[in-house]
Structure 1
């Protein structure tokens, strides 16, 4: 792993630490995290991460927070969002990866995770 990617990858791993079945791997030659076999996020370059995202949510985020989220022509029409890592807060990054994980993880695991989270927040 290139040194300039390590800081971004460490942030991605911290943001995903509460999610189950996270696999550290590579995608397109860069460090990546998967939920089982499905891609959650990967490092694109020293300043950018790619996060999988449903298209309708992607469009909303591109309009609501263009300082954080963007796309290039390569990603138009694909359920993937580019994230400016120097602009995204740790809380927002964690939230985004949780939302992505819920769409990528097996449904039973997602339901169990949500139930546990709800139980913890009601304490």
Structure 2
């Protein structure tokens, strides 16, 4: 898959090419790893301009320092393992790589615990 990831639909379509992925329950819940039920990518609060990928905090800091025009965090996401990625990134291949890194980060986590009802 090539070309810009300039909409949520294009970014989500790429994420869904990764193994064991699906849309989560609910329209805005994002893309999940089916083996553990955890979302690794979702529209987020800034859905008009950016989407969110869950990834480790050290990588977030590196991305914000090296390409702040693409990777950023609003106050809502600070100190949380999620990076906002702007749709108008000049380097869509790097964005794809970051999505893959977020997928691997999330895939390594334990399955979501189901709440008792």
Fold-level match, TM-score > 0.5? yes
**Greater strand content:** 1
The residue that corresponds to 2:38 in the other structure is 38
**Greater helix content:** 1
Q: Do structure 1's residue 14 and structure 2's residue 16 form an aligned pair?
A: no
**Offset of residue 25 of structure 1:** 2.4
Q: Larger RCO: Structure 1 or Structure 2 (Cα < 8 Å, ≥ 6 residues apart)?
A: 2
Contact preservation (8 Å) 1:26, 1:33: no
Structure with larger Rg: 1
Contact preservation (8 Å) 2:51, 2:84: yes
The residue that corresponds to 1:69 in the other structure is 71
Tell me, in whole angstroms, the C-alpha distance in 1 between the residues paired with 2:56 and 2:79.
10
Q: Do structure 1's residue 55 and structure 2's residue 57 form an aligned pair?
A: yes
Tell me, in whole angstroms, the C-alpha distance in 1 between the residues paired with 2:108 and 2:80.
21
Contact preservation (8 Å) 2:72, 2:84: yes
Query: Unaligned stretches of 5+ in structure 1?
Result: 1-6, 108-123
Query: Unaligned stretches of 5+ in structure 2?
Result: 1-5, 110-117
Q: CA RMSD in A?
A: 2.2
Post-superposition Cα deviations, 1:27-80, rounded to whole Å, max 9, x if no partner, equal 7x6251011211111112121101111001100111000000111111110000
Contact preservation (8 Å) 2:24, 2:39: no
Q: TM-score, normalised by structure 1?
A: 0.70
